[in-house]
């Protein structure tokens, strides 16, 4: 019997229906007007002193913003936790401890990577880019591991709170390997699986995010490029060793020499004591590095308001940032389909009659509202930095874009 995990997955059931603020935010024009007011209002008088840019906004985003790109989410209407009650992500300690667990993980990831890799940022990501170019959004903290924010707005400082799927990292030497290189290695080590994947792609079985259609085609597509084939021979799957450790086996923490061994075709051998590659994401049960936590807090502390996009804040790492914003007196805006963890606390002290400047709660798809919001702001006179000031602005933007990199180095 498999032991029950010692870490509970939070909020897998529906969260309470949200109360909208202001009341007219229940319509598209009302929501856009409220968000426009929220983003352009003078700094809140309750904001703590010492904020670097009190007029600016920091964005905190989650899986909901990428649904329009064709990716599955966790807690939405068609989210994995709602549609697949038996699903749970692999735990970090399981991945490290079990060769068989890694086979299963990489087999499913091998099948799912194609769709994830070909997916692109959607209108919501590019609207965030526009808000950054208008000088309204100062930085982005995202829980997403799809890299869409970085692709859509490379010059807007973006912190990937939970890492990214575009690379692998070795748990022994900590070097990274591009996912494309790793995917090619998986295909060479598993020709039967590679042939099956080609057939699946030709059949269009991976082209739908409709849960019923997925089940009818014999597979379950979960977030972050995970494809489950019930009954598949996962134990036959093979994966490569870290090439750096294979060439130079590292010294272990206790001073002993590690072994990195592969079979005749280069697949990691269970006799090895190092050289395990993992996705460069924070897996469930894995701790977020202190530098990343500190950098996320720095992003909150440096701005005057927080805009939450496409997330239920179910994970503590995200919720604590919203809580920090609340404690610092920052107005909070939420654009999310469905309830948000503890959201009633964010709007308890809204002034009577406020129209969005002190807080906004909107329930619409991000890709439908944000582009229209950008259009309205442009009509109101907000635009990119004037050409005359582009040189200085570009220098400042470049300096700002290095904030997260410098703090994480």
- Find out whether 184 is annotated in a ligand binding site: no
Question: Contact 70/117 with Cβ under 8 angstroms?
Answer: no
Question: Contact 382/134 with Cβ under 8 angstroms?
Answer: yes
Strand partners, 169: 176, 278
What letter does residue 66 receive in the DSSP assignment?
Answer: G
Distance CA 384, CA 184 (A): 41
As given in the structure block, the two tokens for residue 257 are: 């020499």
- Find out whether 123 is annotated in a ligand binding site: no
- Beta strands 163-170 and 176-178 are antiparallel
Local structure of 177: helix, strand or coil: strand
Distance CA 221, CA 119 (A): 14
Three-state SS string over 362-381 comes to ECCCHHHHHHHHHHHHHHCC
Dihedral angle computed from the Cα positions of residues 348, 349, 355 and 359, in that order, rounded to the nearest 10 degrees: -70
Which of 137, 123, 138, 22 has its CA nearest to residue 375? 123
- Find out whether 130 is annotated in a ligand binding site: no
- Find out whether 242 is annotated in a ligand binding site: yes
Q: Which of 149, 153, 162, 298 is the catalytic position?
A: 162
Q: Is 162 a catalytic residue?
A: yes
The per-residue b/e assignment along 144-168, b for 16 or more CB within 10 angstroms, e otherwise, is: bbbbbbbebbeebbbbbbbbbbbbb
DSSP letters of 311-338?
Answer: ----SHHHHHHHHHHHHTT--EEEE-SS
DSSP letters of 265-294?
Answer: T-BBPTT-SS--EEEEE--BTPPPPHHHHH
Question: Contact 172/244 with Cβ under 8 angstroms?
Answer: no
Which of 127, 146, 156, 144 has its CA nearest to residue 58? 156
Catalytic residues: 162
Residue ranges for the known binding site for Zn(2+) are: 170, 173, 242, 245
């Amino acid at each position: 019997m498999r032991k029950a995990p010692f870490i509970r997955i939070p909020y897998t059931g529906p969260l309470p229906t949200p109360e909208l603020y202001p009341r007219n935010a229940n319509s598209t024009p009302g929501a856009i007007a409220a968000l426009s007011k929220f983003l352009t209002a003078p700094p809140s008088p309750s904001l703590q002193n010492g904020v670097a840019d009190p007029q600016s906004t920091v964005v905190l985003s989650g899986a909901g913003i990428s649904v329009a790109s064709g990716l599955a989410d966790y807690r939405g209407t068609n989210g994995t936790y709602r549609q697949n009650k038996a699903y749970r992500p692999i735990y970090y300690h399981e991945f490290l401890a079990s060769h068989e667990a890694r086979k299963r993980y990489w087999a499913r990831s091998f099948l799912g990577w194609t769709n994830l890799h070909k997916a692109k940022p959607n209108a919501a990501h590019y609207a965030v880019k526009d808000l950054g170019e208008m000088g309204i959004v100062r930085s982005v903290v995202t829980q997403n591991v799809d890299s869409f924010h970085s692709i859509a707005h490379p010059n807007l400082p973006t912190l990937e709170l939970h890492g990214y799927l575009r690379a692998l990292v070795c748990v022994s030497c900590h070097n990274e390997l591009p996912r494309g290189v790793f995917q090619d290695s998986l295909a060479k080590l598993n020709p039967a699986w590679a042939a099956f994947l080609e057939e699946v792609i030709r059949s269009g079985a991976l082209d739908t995010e409709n849960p019923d259609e997925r089940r009818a085609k014999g597979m379950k597509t979960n977030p972050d490029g995970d494809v489950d084939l019930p009954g598949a021979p996962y134990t036959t799957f093979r994966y490569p060793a870290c090439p750096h450790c294979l060439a130079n086996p590292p010294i272990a923490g206790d001073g002993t020499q590690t072994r990195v061994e592969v079979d005749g075709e280069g697949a990691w051998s269970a006799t090895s004591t190092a050289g395990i590659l993992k996705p460069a994401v924070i897996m469930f049960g894995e701790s977020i590095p202190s530098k990343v936590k500190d950098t996320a807090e720095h992003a909150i502390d440096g701005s005057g308001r927080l805009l939450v996009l496409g997330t239920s804040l179910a994970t503590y790492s995200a919720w604590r940032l919203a809580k920090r914003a609340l404690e610092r007196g920052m107005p909070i805006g939420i654009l999310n389909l469905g309830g948000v963890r503890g959201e009633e606390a964010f709007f308890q002290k809204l002034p009577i009659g406020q129209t969005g400047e002190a807080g906004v709660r909107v329930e619409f798809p991000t890709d439908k509202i944000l582009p229209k919001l950008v259009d309205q702001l442009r009509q109101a006179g907000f635009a990119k930095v004037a050409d005359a000031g582009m040189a200085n602005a570009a220098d400042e933007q470049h300096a700002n874009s290095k904030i997260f990199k410098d703090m994480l180095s």
